[in-house]
Amino acid sequence: MDPISDQEYLKKEQYRQGDHLDARIQLHRRFSVNPSNYFEWMYDLLDLRAGMPVMEVGCGTGEIWHTNQRRLPAELQVTMLDLSTGMAGSARAVLNSDARFDFAAADVQRLPFSTGQFERVLANYMLYHVPDISLAVRELRRVLAPGGRLCAATNSAGHMQELGDLMNRFGLMRSELHDFAARYGLENAPAILGESFEHVEVIPFIDSLFVTETRALLDYIRSMVGIWDFPPGAQEEITAWVNAEIQTNGGFTIHKASGAVLAW
């Protein structure tokens, strides 16, 4: 099975806890060129108001809420779900047991909620992990209240192309199966969400990375264990190459192609 959508691998390896995801978030947080904070930008798109019932599926470490915690309405109730109990626990720890948040493990393909229960639903960077994406989208649509909105961010096919080229150069090959954007990306999101939603809007976030620390990039690469192959000696070769690139050019540039997808 493709590890991108292998639920046992995702629960027991890739997202057993928050450390792999956090390594990737930290690379973006520390080395992004765009001065705007991505999670603040996305929060503004949600247009949250006091009293809104909100759900996030695939909540990860809860970074969007942690970044904007002081901006949240006092009267807000957010249901945080993740396939992994470990990830839900990581989000709870990051948010310091904020009473506005409830946490549970759940499968987006079978949401344990009533029809029309939430005014905002987030499913960011997770639909490509779902075995039956169409079923998941129908469930997300079902639990949205009339007039509610879904935010289902993802990446484009060209996201972090320089890093993909580096992986190929040193044998950390990604097979065609391991293509996140092919399953759910900015290019095909309108068609996928359009099966259940009348309106779909793709909003790109223009950014790139200028990585000046080899260790941070290697932590990102190692976080993809089980999705990228790691032949013997490859990490050492990559380390030497990135060190030389940073010494020569001051850093390693990686272009990003990511954005939010809103549906209603």
Q: What is the pLDDT of residues 91-118, one digit of tens each?
A: 888 898 799 999 988 999 999 999 999 9
Would you list the DSSP string of 22-90?
Answer: HHHHHHHHHHBSSSS-HHHHHHHHH---TT-EEEEES-TT-HHHHHTGGGS-SS-EEEEEES-HHHHHH
221: in domain: no
Cα-atom radius of gyration of the chain, to the nearest Å? 18
pLDDT at 11 over 90: no
Tokens of 260: 């939010």
Which CATH number covers residue 29? 3.40.50.150
Q: How many Cβ atoms from other residues are within 10 Å of residue 141's Cβ?
A: 18
β-pairing, 77-82 vs 53-57, is: parallel
- Looking at residue 178, its pLDDT comes to 60
Pairing of β 154-155 and β 252-263:
antiparallel
Work out the pLDDT band at 152, boundaries 50, 70, 90.
very high
Would residue 13 count as lying in a domain? yes
For 187, the domain range is 7-156+179-206+258-263
65-79 CB burial, b ≥16 within 10 A, e <16: bebbeeebeeebebb
Helix segments in 122-233, DSSP class H: 133-143, 161-169, 180-183, 189-193, 214-222
Give the pLDDT confidence score for residue 15 in this predicted structure: 65
* Structural domain includes residue 215: no
Say yes or no to pLDDT of 23 above 70. yes
pLDDT band for position 9 (50/70/90)?
Answer: low
Asked if residue 119 belongs to a domain, the reply is: yes
pLDDT of residue 117: 98
Higher-confidence residue of 85 and 243: namely 243
Is residue 176 classed exposed, middle or buried when 0-12, 13-18 and 19+ CB atoms within 10 A define those classes? exposed
Residue 220: pLDDT above 70? yes
pLDDT at 173 over 70: no
Region 154-174: mean pLDDT is: 87
- For the chain, how many structural domains are there in total? 1
Residue 240 lies in a domain: no
User: What would the mean pLDDT of 50-57 be, rounded to a whole number?
Assistant: 97
Domain annotation covers residue 151? yes
**Which residues touch 215 (CB under 8 Å, ≥6 apart)?**
none
Q: 62 vs 5, which has greater pLDDT?
A: 62
Mean pLDDT of the chain: 91
Sign of CA dihedral 153, 195, 103, 65: positive
The residue-averaged pLDDT of 222-251 equals 87
For residue 17, what pLDDT is reported? 60
Decide if 132 is inside a domain: yes
The reply to whether 166 falls in a domain is no
